[in-house]
Amino acid sequence: MWIFGYGSLVWKVDFKYDCKIVGYIKGYLRRFYQHSIDHRGVPEKPGRVVTLVQSDDPNSTVWGIAYKIKTEDVAQVTKHLDYREKNGYMRKTITFHPADMNHEPFQLTLYVATEENESYAGEASIEEIAQQVVSCHGPSGPNKEYVYNLAATMRKLVPDVKDDHLFELEAAVRRLDPDSKKT
């Protein structure tokens, strides 16, 4: 079994895996359109985390990491991720394209939050999302940390790939973040 990480799973891997491969999926966009009431916010003040939305361009790419799960670990990892991603995410199978051209594309599982789930936040301006992110904190820490960690990790993984939504949000959060101005 392979799992695709495109959000916190690219920098916060808390499950057993055999190996990992950097690559992308097609036809989607990474967006901060999902509320987080259990990790980066609370029910009274939900944070924002990423999900995938269908793109009008079938060649749009979302970069991340594919993790290979050993057969003997599949049940445990699936149970763990089903719990971790419980706030509106569901499993989906999709084709993954490894960055290393020596590997052929293959099917994997990812977790996606669709518009139908109760925690779907939907579209908002970068500034509105940034204001929400800066003001939210949950059991997993400040919402801004999620944005900063994801942006930094994506820059390291694929330095030539520009993720406009992610990097524009990161810049907007830094402008609003009083702690960011101290550095």
> Residue 181: its pLDDT value, please?
65
Q: How far is CA 152 from CA 13, 14, 94, in A?
A: 15, 19, 25
- Domain spanning 2-177, CATH architecture: Roll (3.10)
> Residue 113: its pLDDT value, please?
92
Tens place of pLDDT per residue across the chain (183 aa): 999 999 999 999 999 999 999 999 999 999 999 999 988 999 999 999 999 999 999 999 999 999 999 999 999 999 999 888 887 898 999 999 999 989 999 999 999 998 989 999 999 999 999 999 999 999 999 999 999 999 999 999 999 999 999 999 999 999 999 887 654
Number of residues that make up the chain: 183
| All structural domains of the chain with their residue ranges | 2-177
pTM: 0.93
> Residue 125: its pLDDT value, please?
97
Question: b/e string for 54-65 if b means 16 or more Cβ within 10 A?
Answer: eeeeeebbbbbb
Rounded Cα–Cα distance for residues 38 and 89 (Å): 12
- Catalytic status, residue 128: no
Which of 72, 85, 104, 127 is an active site residue?
Answer: 85
Q: How far is CA 4 from CA 50, 69, 121, in A?
A: 13, 11, 22
> Residue 182: its pLDDT value, please?
57
- Tell me if residue 141 falls in helix, strand or coil: strand
* Tokens 């520009």 -> residue: 162
